[in-house]
Amino acid sequence: MFQVSFVQFIDDVTPEQWAALQTAENPFVDYRYLQALEESQSVGNGTGWQVHHLLLHDEGGALVGAVPCYLKQHSYGEYVFDWGWADAYRRAGIAYYPKMVCAVPFTPATGGRLLTVSGSDEQVGEICRLLAEALIEEARRLNASSVHCLFLPEREVTVLTDEGWLLRHDLQFHWSNQGYEQFADFLASFSSKKRKNVNRERRRVREAGVEMEVLTGDELTSEHWRLFYQLYRFTAYKRGGTAYLTEKFFELIAEHMADSVVMVMARENDRYVAAALNFRGGDTLYGRYWGCLTEYDSLHFETCYYRAIEYCIAEGIARYEAGAQGEHKLSRGFLPTTTHSAHWLAHPQFADAVADYLDDEREQIAGYQEMLQAHTPFRRP
């Protein structure tokens, strides 16, 4: 017999209990990361992200499953866009919010959402199904319009679609390590024109007198983190966006998760002018946040892409996910990759309409991906 509960703080379980849920390969479902979001008040009261994590205990009281979950009063910070759905509900006189979102806030990176202890495929599948059922039951109890599980691994996609959830596709651009020994090997796979473009961009940064550093773990001082937050916040507001994460969040990451951080910093005349924050988990590097004080030709590409790729090659890391969107990544060696989300809508008529919409959208995305594949920078065999 299993026991379902929903909690408002990840502190309601211990780090050891959470770690048993196969979370080691992804930094964003790491207990320390989710705890930092909560302790820093980046999520919680006043943010529109009300913590509502699902826990599943067995009859012996052991935690066997969990879902990082939030009650949402808006659709900001999700990167799977449903504003059109919300508007359709509004025009029909039906409340779209609150909704339930199973994801890592502000983080468009694929990773486990239906977290389980290890076991046979049958055991894990059963726990996942129980988690999915519990989410729907809770949505009905709260009169939430819907449940959205974002950036899912394929195993969880299969579980949820088998249970009748609606499948949504999108595209990101990811880099894959083909056994390169150095950056020059990677560029050697490019066509001559595209290779020259990359070399030209890197040369422009050098000629501007900008020096690059790649820092990890204990190499990062409190001053590095303070400067990074300034860059992150300045860039977010300069672009008319929102700096969702508080300075306290970065302080907590520095204190508890520095071993998962890879920071690329750019310096001119002993002054830091740009930085990119990456997280390492398993065989993947994840690019997350970027900030700069002044625009330099090609510095974004050097800081966010080329130095990170060099790091992956040196460390034998298999993949680099550089964040959401960005067709400009294609010509720099990032290939279009399908991302998945699954959705349950309580209203039957809207669920049918959204299902039809998603059928068309998946077809359009597949066509777009095929078109992009024809324009990669790599030499034709």
Q: What is the mean pLDDT of residues 76-91?
A: 97
- The pLDDT value recorded for residue 23 is 85
- The pLDDT value recorded for residue 238 is 84
- The pLDDT value recorded for residue 241 is 80
pTM for the full predicted model: 0.96
> Among 113-122, 236-245, 309-318, where is mean pLDDT lowest?
236-245
CA 114 to CA 153: how far, in whole Å?
A: 10
pLDDT band at 1 (very low <50, low <70, confident <90, very high): confident
The region that residue 289 occupies, defined by phi over 0 for left and psi between -120 and 50 for alpha, beta otherwise, is beta
- The pLDDT value recorded for residue 138 is 99
- The pLDDT value recorded for residue 130 is 98
pLDDT band at 326 (very low <50, low <70, confident <90, very high): confident
State percent of the chain over pLDDT 90. Answer: 95
Give the H or E element holding residue 315: helix 307-315
For residue 146, pLDDT over 80 is answered with: yes
The closest of 101, 106, 127, 105 to 116, measured between CA atoms, is 127
pLDDT band at 240 (very low <50, low <70, confident <90, very high): confident
- The pLDDT value recorded for residue 220 is 98
For residue 261, pLDDT over 80 is answered with: yes
pLDDT band at 161 (very low <50, low <70, confident <90, very high): very high
Residue 143's contacts (CB-CB under 8 Å, 6 or more residues apart) are: none
CA 312 to CA 185: how far, in whole Å?
A: 13
CA 347 to CA 16: how far, in whole Å?
A: 39
For residue 112, pLDDT over 80 is answered with: yes
Residue 327 or residue 24, greater confidence: 327
CA 181 to CA 187: how far, in whole Å?
A: 11
- The pLDDT value recorded for residue 91 is 98
Residues in the chain, total: 381
pLDDT band at 62 (very low <50, low <70, confident <90, very high): very high
pLDDT band at 325 (very low <50, low <70, confident <90, very high): confident
H-assigned helices in 189-268: 192-207, 222-238, 247-256
pLDDT digits (tens, 9 = 90+) for 287-318: 999 999 988 999 999 999 999 999 999 999 99
pLDDT band at 376 (very low <50, low <70, confident <90, very high): very high
Q: What is the mean pLDDT of residues 89-116?
A: 98
- The pLDDT value recorded for residue 353 is 98
- The pLDDT value recorded for residue 292 is 95
Average pLDDT, the chain: 97
Which token pair is 319?
């993949």
Q: What is the mean pLDDT of residues 162-190?
A: 98
CA-CA-CA-CA torsion sign (132, 134, 135, 140): positive
Contact between 275 and 281 (Cβ < 8 Å)? no
pLDDT band at 249 (very low <50, low <70, confident <90, very high): very high
CA 38 to CA 165: how far, in whole Å?
A: 29
Contact between 231 and 293 (Cβ < 8 Å)? yes
The closest of 205, 186, 179 to 333, measured between CA atoms, is 186
Amino acid (one-letter) located at 263: M
For residue 239, pLDDT over 80 is answered with: no
Q: What is the mean pLDDT of residues 352-370?
A: 98
pLDDT band at 227 (very low <50, low <70, confident <90, very high): very high
Q: Which domains does the chain have, with CATH numbers?
A: 3-172+337-373 (3.40.630.30), 178-317 (3.40.630.30)
Helix/strand/coil for 370? helix
